[in-house]
């Protein structure tokens, strides 16, 4: 029975990723395009992780501080795997759609729980593989290599997902337990995840300081790591100084927390899954009926869905959070940059363009429209049956993206204009260009979802994180920002920065207008055929 459950979970994961291709619903060209985009994203991740670790390895490789490479590799691996599967864990363990069906069968609850944990471990292992490859490459290039070190390093990466899974399951259990006590389920998501992301951003902003402190006082920091994060410490020790004792301690620190978490889950799984949340009793009060125009009602519907689905909120709106953080940092620390400008020859003229590039990159990460049609799922027929034109429905989805994405960009642009030195034409372009990129992200994301809709999902997280339309929209937005940067770098040597940025703005206006016309004509017809 356990083998059948594990096979079912593996098939469900494979179907969630490749079902459309295997059923022949995607053309060969679309499959090739999706494969190229997937290879591109994986290559970017491998390159970014490799660049970070290579910089560390150049400083510590071949020295007595070589273990710091494995300390940072372990930390990055834990952060990557925890973030990658955090949204999926609670849904798969406690809020899966087939929980009631499986519990009604003569299957022991521990088997159901174990099969789901096995699937989540495989997902964590996939994320960890993205870090294992560049770590091994950097280790071979820059460090003193030993055969036992390579073997232990590979085994260490195999075991590290066990600890990250224990963290995911503990957080998922906490969310599920809080949710079982609250009427508003998603409140628990926001409380726990906001705290988690606060810790994550603190670590990211302090990464350079932590590395410098490690290099200056490696022994003291290593002792602190041993006390507060033993799995990472023993991972580094087992890889740098392979010995049966260090590997045994690492094995205990990765597997024992998972065993304790599993014991906790097995004792509370059935109670949490079968708990009915209280529902507030509605009290009728006579009042005048408020009539809302269809466009505003649809816009409100899109916004309510965005703020009610935590996975949708934190994935599609991640750029908004970063924009607000950058705006606050500019207002608080921007004067430090201004004081350094006299010492950086030529950088003052380049700074506004860098602000535009950073804000535009964050803008194309705000992608509410990319999964918005797919999220309708089996309820699409309800939307289609309303006495509302298809163009109004599509426009409401674009408008929701703009309502969420434009205000933080305005805040970031205004903060940059107030803090950094620039003339009026450049200030106007700093304000305008990120808004144009945000408009592109909204309209192109909706076009991508019209081209690659997905309605066979059983979990909203699958659509938000694994949908081909989301991948296409994100890569398309980043490619356009990169094209603008390349154009500025090449043409800025011949023409003035104002002229080059103005030409880029004009090109963006034409591109945005072209996609708007496509949505109003071809896009409406495509939506009517869904």
Q: Looking at residue 512, what is its pLDDT?
A: 93
CB atoms within 10 A of CB 215: 15
Closest Cα partner for 500 from 364, 346, 345, 353? 353
Distance CA 25, CA 11 (A): 19
Distance CA 254, CA 191 (A): 27
Closest Cα partner for 471 from 377, 395, 363, 371? 371
- 3-state class of 25 per DSSP? coil
Distance CA 103, CA 112 (A): 8
Distance CA 253, CA 247 (A): 10
Cα Rg for the chain, rounded, in angstroms? 25
Task: Return the ∠ at Cα 399 (arms to 431 and 326), rounded to 5°.
Answer: 40
348, 497 contact by CB (below 8 A): no
Q: Looking at residue 378, what is its pLDDT?
A: 80
Distance CA 334, CA 114 (A): 51
Letter string b/e over residues 67-88, b meaning 16 or more CB atoms within 10 A of that residue's CB: bbbbbbbbbbbbbbbbbbbbbb
Terminal CA-CA length for the chain: 39
Q: Looking at residue 278, what is its pLDDT?
A: 47
Distance CA 71, CA 236 (A): 5
- DSSP per-residue string spanning 156-185: HHHHHHHHHHHHHHHHHHHHHHHHHH-SST
365, 319 contact by CB (below 8 A): yes
Closest Cα partner for 238 from 125, 159, 143? 159
Distance CA 17, CA 280 (A): 38
Residues present in the chain in total: 530
Q: Looking at residue 273, what is its pLDDT?
A: 67
pTM: 0.66
pLDDT by residue, tens only, the chain of 530 residues = 667 776 776 666 666 555 554 444 556 766 677 677 778 778 877 887 888 788 778 777 777 777 778 887 887 888 777 777 776 776 777 666 666 677 777 777 777 777 888 888 888 888 888 888 888 888 888 877 778 778 888 888 888 888 888 888 887 777 767 666 655 555 556 666 666 666 666 665 665 666 666 656 555 666 766 777 788 888 888 877 778 888 888 888 888 888 888 888 887 777 766 655 444 555 666 677 677 788 888 988 899 888 877 778 878 888 888 888 888 888 887 766 666 555 554 556 678 888 899 999 999 999 899 999 998 888 888 888 888 888 899 999 999 999 999 999 999 999 888 888 888 889 999 999 999 999 999 999 999 999 988 887 767 777 887 788 888 898 899 899 999 989 988 888 788 889 999 999 999 999 999 999 999 889 989 998 87
Q: What is the DSSP-derived secondary structure letter of residue 217?
A: S
424-451 vs 347-363: helix crossing angle, rounded to 10: 30
């Amino acid at each position: 029975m356990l083998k059948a459950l594990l096979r079912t979970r593996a098939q469900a994961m494979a179907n969630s990723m490749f079902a459309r291709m295997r059923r022949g619903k995607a053309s060969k060209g679309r499959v090739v395009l999706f494969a190229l985009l997937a290879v591109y994203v994986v290559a970017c991740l491998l390159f970014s992780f490799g660049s970070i670790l290579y910089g560390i390895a150049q400083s510590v490789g071949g020295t007595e501080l070589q273990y710091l490479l494995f300390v940072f590799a372990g930390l990055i691996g834990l952060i990557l795997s925890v973030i990658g599967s955090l949204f999926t864990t609670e849904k798969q363990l406690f809020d899966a759609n087939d929980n009631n069906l499986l519990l009604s069968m003569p299957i022991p609850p521990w088997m159901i729980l174990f099969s789901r944990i096995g699937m989540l471990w495989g997902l964590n292992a996939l994320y960890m593989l993205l870090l294992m490859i560049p770590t091994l490459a950097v280790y071979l290039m820059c460090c003193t290599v030993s055969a036992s070190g390579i073997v232990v390093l590979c085994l260490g990466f195999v075991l590290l997902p066990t600890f990250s899974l224990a963290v995911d399951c503990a957080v998922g259990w906490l969310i599920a337990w809080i949710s079982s006590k609250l009427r508003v389920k998603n409140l628990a998501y926001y409380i726990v995840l906001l705290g988690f992301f606060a810790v994550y951003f603190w670590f990211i902003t302090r990464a350079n300081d932590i590395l410098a402190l490690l290099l200056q006082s490696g022994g003291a920091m290593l002792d602190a790591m041993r006390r507060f994060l033993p799995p990472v410490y023993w991972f580094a020790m087992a890889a740098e100084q392979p010995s049966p004792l260090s590997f045994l301690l690492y094995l205990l620190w990765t597997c024992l927390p998972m065993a304790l978490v599993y014991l906790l889950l097995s004792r509370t799984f059935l109670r949490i899954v079968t708990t009915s949340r209280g529902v507030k009793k509605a009290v009728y009060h006579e009042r005048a009926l408020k009539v809302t125009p269809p466009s505003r009602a649809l816009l409100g519907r899109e916004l309510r869905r965005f703020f009610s689905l935590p996975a949708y909120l934190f994935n599609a709106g991640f750029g908004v959070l970063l924009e607000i953080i950058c705006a606050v940092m500019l207002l608080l620390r921007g004067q430090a940059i201004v004081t350094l400008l006299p010492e950086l020859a030529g950088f003052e003229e380049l700074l506004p363009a860098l602000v535009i590039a950073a804000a535009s990159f964050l803008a194309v990460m705000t992608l509410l429209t990319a999964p918005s049609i797919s999220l309708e799922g089996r309820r699409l027929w309800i939307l289609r049956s309303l006495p509302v034109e298809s163009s109004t429905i599509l426009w409401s989805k674009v408008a929701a993206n703009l309502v969420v994405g434009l205000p933080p960009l305005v805040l970031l642009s205004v903060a940059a204009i107030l803090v950094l030195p620039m003339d009026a034409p450049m200030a106007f372009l700093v304000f305008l260009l990120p808004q144009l990129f945000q408009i592109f992200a909204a309209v192109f994301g909706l076009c991508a979802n019209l081209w690659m809709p997905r309605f066979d999902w059983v979990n909203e997280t699958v659509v938000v994180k694994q949908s081909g339309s989301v991948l296409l929209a994100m890569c398309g937005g980043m490619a356009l920002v990169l094209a603008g940067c390349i154009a500025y770098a090449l043409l800025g040597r011949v023409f003035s920065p104002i002229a080059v940025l103005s030409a880029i703005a004009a090109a963006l206006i034409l591109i945005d207008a072209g996609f708007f016309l496509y949505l109003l004509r071809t896009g409406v017809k495509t939506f009517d055929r869904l």
